[in-house]
Structure 1
Amino acid sequence: MHNTLPACRAAADTLAAATPEKIDNALIAVADAVEAAADEIIAANAADCETMDSSASSCGRLRLDRSRIADIVSAIRQIAALPSPVGVELASAKRPNGMLIRRISVPFGIIGVIFEDRPDVAFDAFALCFKAGSACVLNPEHEATHTVEKAVEVIRRGLLAQGFAPECIAMLDGGHDATLELLRARGTVDLIIPRGSRRLIDFVRDNARVPVIETGAGVCHTFFHAAGDIATGRDIIYNAKTRRVDACNALDCLLVDRPRLTDLPALCYRLSEKNVTIYADNEAFHALEGAYPLLEKATEDHYEHEWLDYKLTVRVVDGIDEAIEHIARHGSHHSECIITENRPAAEQFLRRVDAACVYSNVSTAFTDGAQFGFGAEMGISTQKLHARGPIGLSGLCTYKFLITGAGQIRP
Structure 2
Amino acid sequence: MFDLNQVCENAKEALKEISILGIDEKNDILRKTADALVKNSDEIIEKNKIDVENGVNKGMKQSLIDRLSLNKKRIEDMALGLKQIATLDDPIGGIDSMVKRPNGLLVGKKRVPLGVVGIIYEARPNVTADAFGLCFKTGNVVILKGGSDAINSNIAIVDSIRGVLKENGINPDAINLITATDHETTTRFMKMNDYVDVLIPRGGAGLIKNVVLNSTIPVIETGTGNCHIYVDETADIDMAANIIVNAKTQRTGVCNACESLVIHKNIAQKAIPVICNILKQKGVEIRGDKTVLDIYTDAIAADEEDWGKEYLDLIISIKTVENIDEAISHINKYNSGHSESIITKDYANAQKFLERVDAAAVYVNASTRFTDGFEFGFGAEIGISTQKLHARGPMGLDALTTYKYIIYGDGQIRP
TM-score, with structure 2 as normaliser: 0.94
Deviates more, 1:33-42 or 1:128-137: 33-42
Within the alignment, does 1:44 sit opposite 2:44 as a pair? no
1:250 aligns with: 257
Within the alignment, does 1:75 sit opposite 2:87 as a pair? no
Question: In the superposition, relative to structure 1, how do residues 42 and 374 fare at CA in structure 2: closer, same or farther (>3 Å)?
Answer: closer
Residues of 2 paired with 1:201 and 1:91: CA distance? 35
Aligned residue identity for 1:122: T
Question: What does 1:244-283 align with in structure 2 at a 5 Å threshold?
Answer: 244-263=251-270, 264-283=272-291
Match of 2:202 among 185, 195, 200: 195
2:93 aligns with: 87
2:128 aligns with: 122
* Conserved? CA contact 2:229–2:343, under 8 Å: yes
How far off is 1:343 after superposition? 2.5
* Conserved? CA contact 2:92–2:112, under 8 Å: yes
Residues of 1 paired with 2:156 and 2:307: CA distance? 39
How far off is 1:163 after superposition? 0.9
Residues of 1 paired with 2:251 and 2:303: CA distance? 24
Structure 2 unaligned spans of 5+ = none
| Paired residues, number | 407
1:19 aligns with: 22
Match of 1:409 among 389, 409, 413: 413
Residues of 1 paired with 2:140 and 2:85: CA distance? 14
Residues of 1 paired with 2:47 and 2:246: CA distance? 34
How far off is 1:131 after superposition? 0.9
Within the alignment, does 1:30 sit opposite 2:37 as a pair? no
Deviates more, 1:104-113 or 1:338-347: 338-347
Residues of 2 paired with 1:369 and 1:156: CA distance? 24
Q: Deviations over 1:351-401 (max 9, x none)?
A: 221111112222212212232233322121100000001111111111111
* Conserved? CA contact 2:82–2:380, under 8 Å: no
Residues of 1 paired with 2:352 and 2:44: CA distance? 49
Q: Deviations over 1:15-65 (max 9, x none)?
A: 011111111122222223222222221121122122112753211111112
Q: Deviations over 1:179-227 (max 9, x none)?
A: 1122111131011111111111111111111111111310001111223
Residues of 1 paired with 2:414 and 2:342: CA distance? 54
Question: What does 1:119-268 align with in structure 2 at a 5 Å threshold?
Answer: 119-172=125-178, 173-263=180-270, 264-268=272-276
| Corresponding residue SS for 1:316 | strand
How far off is 1:325 after superposition? 2.1
Residues of 1 paired with 2:64 and 2:38: CA distance? 25
* Conserved? CA contact 1:13–1:109, under 8 Å: no
How far off is 1:242 after superposition? 2.3
Aligned residue identity for 1:283: T
Question: In the superposition, relative to structure 1, how do residues 55 and 240 fare at CA in structure 2: closer, same or farther (>3 Å)?
Answer: closer
Match of 1:345 among 343, 349, 361: 349
Q: Deviations over 1:116-163 (max 9, x none)?
A: 011111111111111111111010111011111122211110001111
Structure 1 unaligned spans of 5+ = none
* Conserved? CA contact 2:82–2:379, under 8 Å: no
Match of 2:387 among 372, 383, 386: 383
Match of 2:330 among 303, 326, 332: 326
Question: In the superposition, relative to structure 1, how do residues 46 and 239 fare at CA in structure 2: closer, same or farther (>3 Å)?
Answer: closer
* Conserved? CA contact 2:287–2:301, under 8 Å: yes
| Corresponding residue SS for 2:151 | helix
Residues of 1 paired with 2:16 and 2:353: CA distance? 46
How far off is 1:102 after superposition? 1.5
Question: In the superposition, relative to structure 1, how do residues 363 and 55 fare at CA in structure 2: closer, same or farther (>3 Å)?
Answer: closer
1:335 aligns with: 339
1:296 aligns with: 300
TM-score, with structure 1 as normaliser: 0.95
Residues of 2 paired with 1:71 and 1:228: CA distance? 34
Aligned residue identity for 2:397: L
* Conserved? CA contact 2:81–2:379, under 8 Å: no
| Corresponding residue SS for 1:2 | helix
